[in-house]
Structure 1
Amino acid sequence: MLACKPYDDVAWAISTQIWEDWPEFLRTDGDIYNDIGVILSEEFSDLQCAVFEFLFTGGFNTCFKMMFTNNSGAVIRFPLPGHVMFPEEKVRNEVSVMQFLLEKTSDRIPITVPSILRWAETKESPSDLSPFIIMDYIHHKGDMGDLLEKPGRQGGQRPVLNPDLKPVRLEVLYIKLANIVLSLSTLSLSRIGSLDKNDDSTWEVSRRPLSYFMNETVQLGTLPRSNLPTTTYDNASSYFEALAELHILHLRSQRNEANIEADAEADVLADVLADDFRRKFVARFLFRKLVRDQEQRKQWISYDDGPFPVWCDDLRPENVLVDEAENIAGVVDWEFTYTAPVEFAYAPPWWLLLKKPEDWPEGLDDWCTEYEKALQVFLEAMRKCEDEAIQKKQLVEGQRLSSRMRASWQSGDLDYRFYGPTTYEDDNICDVWRKRLHLLEPEEQELVEVYVDLKLKERNTWSLAWDADEYTVGWIKRMKEMKRKQREGEEGDLC
């Protein structure tokens, strides 16, 4: 009867339409296409252009490539309106972390990233498109996702791990990825947030940690931008509390929580929907309770005062480029990278199956079963990477991730660890929140009912309140105007 959704369907539709239309305009509008080519050719005035072409559109960027007669190349990347809610901030943060990694790359930190040739804000952009980054083109044959995924994927389908990969082959590929994850975890700073370089060439954290989740809650969760955190954090517990508050605000503000069958009876529908809201609110309040309890958080926050490792929300096999010999040529797409609590690095990577649990057609239990098989291979790969690094004195025993990832997986979620088993012989798992309700303070229980009541009353009256950035709003207007002129041109041709 009820299927939960992590996004507002109207916001999703608008974002998807922009994703389809915007790159097409950049490719087909002669003036815009020429402006992009000019800015690249001016950057390389001493080289002769051989090819200038559209490269691809990913989840957050549209890219163009220029190759030169000496076989070198460059890529210019523009953040996608409607998908990137903080384009200037996103580009600035990505440039900083790439420069940081370029400085740190060594035998101990073997993470190769493209060299940045130039970046600029929207006001300096060709045709006022958006902020952009110009970087070296990394020659490659494909990416790690190509080597890991099941063959035969059709356009629009999500990749999934190839079940026919032999364990030995899978371990070889996982070792290459584990080296990146391990190396990144050894880079740390003293605060949580986005990196910045000082005038004396030292690095510090001076801006908020702009995360994938923060961007998505504005893009698809209809959360007002003003509700997002704006500060850096000097301890993990304060950051976790900010995340707990953000998740509560997200649930409170999101307009559409579920798809409900049209033939459901009104009173049954209301009861089911209300309990679904209660379950979600109870879970979020309980997480905040764990964060606020000083004694309990000592049991799961390892280093409250840091140091805090560099963490990339969007690190995944598709962003790891490989050459003909399947060696790593470079790692790209460093948006939403910041320093985070070590617990982020201690959690096993979600991407071992390439597909997230919410996208797994056979359900969460089946995903967990398949994930655990892949996890055992990955942990063995990680252990081998650690052994080699320790032998070369590039790592110390206390920096191992494999044992901590194993413990993180085996310990289960925080709710189970601190509040006891979540399944009961006679209970539906979706009703477990009732067994947890007494753990909330009376005022929290009252607040849950207030929020549930408001969401039920507002559900049929809310209109989309998408707090899009000026960049996105501006491009929606420009695309409408372009479409209008295109239609007029087509009508003129008919006449």
Structure 2
Amino acid sequence: MLKRCHQPRQGGFNICFVAELDVPGEEESVWALMRIPIPGMGIFPEEKLRAEAAIMAFVREHTTIPVPRVWHFSTAAENPTGLGPYLITDFIPDTKHLFDYLMAPKGTSKWQANIINSQMPEEELQGYYAQMADILLQLDRLPTMPLCGSLSQDWDGKFAVIGHPLPQNVVELVTGSGVPKVLIPPAGTTYKTSDDFYRYLANAHMAQLCFQHNDCVHGEDDARDKYIARHLFRRLARQNLLVKKEEGDGTPERFKLICDDLTPYNCLTRDGKIVAMVDWEFAYFGPASIASGPALYPRFLDIFLRGMEELERTKYNDKKEEEEEDALASQLERFDLDSTGINEAKGALSNGTDKEPQPFLQLPLSVRMRQNWENGRFWINWAARSSFAFDTIYWKYIDRPFFGEDNVEGGFEKRLCQLNRFGLEVMERVVNDKMKQRSNRKLKHWSSKWVQEYLEYVTGQIHL
């Protein structure tokens, strides 16, 4: 029986209705939350909610991570209100976002508003980091999948990847940058290799340049910078150079759970404890290299990883032999002192003998995170996943390692030699189009046929 309805809450993509219920047999009120996607603020809302319900059930089944229970998922056709698909879950009352504890205090300048509070006592910071490290370690130990894509759960409770992945960046390109939805691959599209998925992400960056009508470029040279950065990044993706082959072990690739929106804002806390992880709508199975990245707090990475290493040595140490445990601790200690990273990471589980080094994915998560941070893999993954941060990251961290150290200041001028005659022609066509758009600001609605023809002209493809 309904006891009380509370004020609706609006997030970036959904509106939430909270209710207290009197349930027979329960001494206290049961809290429930119904979440409905906001029209126009997302894409494929039904598929996205269905995948989120499956992810939440999957994580609850295989971990002790505090994930709200899913009560019910409904399609738009089954919703008598006509408001679209919805998801009903537990609601966790009397909580605060972890974001509220970690971020700089009120009154901080707008440039520091999203920076971790440097005045927070290290002991308190370590307490929250230890809990987040525990959550990441459990996610890392989840069963893997043979395909890259969105998860689904059938009526028998079995899980499988059967839908296309919807990374947060791609959704925001459609909802915030005007990239036409027709360019998204058809429903049911999955990827068999990480290389395929990186090509999808690289194409999304080019689509942003082509179809974001307003505020995409600041002038002709900026348009050339953006075009060449995306063109060269797509070349690296097409040549399968964005995925390090030594990260595999020769067996068919398996994909790990990736949570694009695993941020302090979606961690609910009470009395210093994380009591719920919410908003799994941008979770999908993807490349292990992305899942192995230090995605949370680079500024305090050492504090974070020290806590994770301690958990690996104690709570999540599957190795029983004392000799192997000592070797792991010794290698982690050496890795902490020596920032070169790669050689130590490869040998971290070699047990001090002449055995072959463990494959990348068999290294402890903390070692993989350190390796990805120190060898630049972190920046490739971040560039691939963020169209809005792409250009700065590309010119600072990616261009010179792949195309030569002569371009210290970045920019298109020293990379024109990488384009053939047709590439130069396409670049100037894109630049001219962006200048016309810049002088005529408006909300642009593209025709599907023209969009696919234009993308095919620029990239050779009609979908991302």
TM-score range, shorter chain: 0.7 to 0.9
1:286 matched to 2:212? The reply is: no
Q: Which residue identity does 1:237 align to in structure 2?
A: D
Q: TM-score, normalised by structure 2?
A: 0.74
Q: What is the match of residue 419 of structure 2? A: 440
Separation (CA, whole Å) in 2 of partners of 1:97 and 1:411: 31
- Return the offset for 1:65: 1.3
Q: Which residue identity does 1:63 align to in structure 2?
A: C
SS at 1:101 equivalent: helix
Q: What is the match of residue 83 of structure 1? A: 41
**Structure 2 unpaired stretches of 5+:** 23-27, 329-348, 350-361, 377-396, 448-464
With over 3 angstroms needed to count, the CA separation of the structure-2 counterparts of 1:92 and 1:318, relative to structure 1, is same
With over 3 angstroms needed to count, the CA separation of the structure-2 counterparts of 1:435 and 1:186, relative to structure 1, is farther
Q: What is the match of residue 5 of structure 1? A: none
1:401 aligned residue (340, 354, 365):
365
Q: What is the match of residue 103 of structure 1? A: 61
With over 3 angstroms needed to count, the CA separation of the structure-2 counterparts of 1:422 and 1:200, relative to structure 1, is farther
Deviates more, 1:226-235 or 1:126-135: 126-135
With over 3 angstroms needed to count, the CA separation of the structure-2 counterparts of 1:51 and 1:158, relative to structure 1, is farther
1:334 aligned residue (280, 286, 290):
280
- Return the offset for 1:254: 0.9
Q: TM-score, normalised by structure 1?
A: 0.70
Q: What is the match of residue 75 of structure 2? A: 121
SS at 1:391 equivalent: coil
**Structure 1 unpaired stretches of 5+:** 1-47, 261-272, 353-370, 469-495
SS at 2:247 equivalent: coil
Separation (CA, whole Å) in 2 of partners of 1:140 and 1:241: 43
1:317 matched to 2:317? The reply is: no
Separation (CA, whole Å) in 2 of partners of 1:302 and 1:103: 28
- Return the offset for 1:183: 1.7
SS at 1:89 equivalent: helix
* Structure ranking higher in helix proportion: 1
For 1:308-345, what per-residue CA distance to the aligned partner results, in whole angstroms no more than 9, with x for missing partners? Answer: 10111111111111222x22212110001100111212
Q: Which residue identity does 2:367 align to in structure 1?
A: S
Separation (CA, whole Å) in 1 of partners of 2:38 and 2:115: 25
- Return the offset for 1:192: 0.3
Q: What is the match of residue 68 of structure 1? A: 21
Tell me if the contact between 2:151 and 2:163 (Cα under 8 Å) persists in the aligned partners. Answer: yes
1:144 matched to 2:106? The reply is: no
SS at 1:134 equivalent: strand
Separation (CA, whole Å) in 1 of partners of 2:247 and 2:159: 24
With over 3 angstroms needed to count, the CA separation of the structure-2 counterparts of 1:299 and 1:95, relative to structure 1, is closer
1:249 matched to 2:207? The reply is: yes
1:161 matched to 2:106? The reply is: no
Q: Which residue identity does 1:254 align to in structure 2?
A: Q
Separation (CA, whole Å) in 2 of partners of 1:462 and 1:148: 39
For 1:194-243, what per-residue CA distance to the aligned partner results, in whole angstroms no more than 9, with x for missing partners? Answer: 01124554321100001111211111111111111331000000111121
SS at 2:281 equivalent: coil
SS at 2:165 equivalent: coil
With over 3 angstroms needed to count, the CA separation of the structure-2 counterparts of 1:435 and 1:403, relative to structure 1, is farther
1:275 matched to 2:254? The reply is: no
Separation (CA, whole Å) in 2 of partners of 1:235 and 1:298: 10
1:191 aligned residue (141, 147, 154):
147
SS at 1:189 equivalent: coil
1:239 aligned residue (183, 197, 210):
197
Separation (CA, whole Å) in 1 of partners of 2:54 and 2:67: 12
SS at 1:127 equivalent: coil
- Return the offset for 1:275: 0.8
SS at 1:330 equivalent: strand
- Return the offset for 1:247: 1.2
Tell me if the contact between 1:63 and 1:77 (Cα under 8 Å) persists in the aligned partners. Answer: yes
Separation (CA, whole Å) in 1 of partners of 2:266 and 2:319: 28
1:54 matched to 2:54? The reply is: no
1:212 matched to 2:138? The reply is: no
Tell me if the contact between 2:103 and 2:113 (Cα under 8 Å) persists in the aligned partners. Answer: no
Q: Which residue identity does 2:232 align to in structure 1?
A: L
Tell me if the contact between 1:144 and 1:320 (Cα under 8 Å) persists in the aligned partners. Answer: yes
Separation (CA, whole Å) in 2 of partners of 1:462 and 1:149: 36
Separation (CA, whole Å) in 2 of partners of 1:173 and 1:302: 30
Q: What is the match of residue 401 of structure 2? A: 417
1:227 aligned residue (180, 183, 190):
183
Q: Which one scores higher on RCO, CA 8 angstroms, separation ≥ 6? A: 1
With over 3 angstroms needed to count, the CA separation of the structure-2 counterparts of 1:342 and 1:227, relative to structure 1, is same
Q: What is the match of residue 391 of structure 2? A: none
Q: Which residue identity does 2:104 align to in structure 1?
A: K
With over 3 angstroms needed to count, the CA separation of the structure-2 counterparts of 1:301 and 1:139, relative to structure 1, is farther
With over 3 angstroms needed to count, the CA separation of the structure-2 counterparts of 1:422 and 1:195, relative to structure 1, is farther
Tell me if the contact between 1:219 and 1:466 (Cα under 8 Å) persists in the aligned partners. Answer: no
- Return the offset for 1:258: 4.9
Q: What is the match of residue 253 of structure 2? A: 306
Separation (CA, whole Å) in 2 of partners of 1:139 and 1:393: 40
The alignment of Structure 1 onto Structure 2 pairs a total of residues equal to: 378
1:92 matched to 2:37? The reply is: no
With over 3 angstroms needed to count, the CA separation of the structure-2 counterparts of 1:343 and 1:422, relative to structure 1, is farther
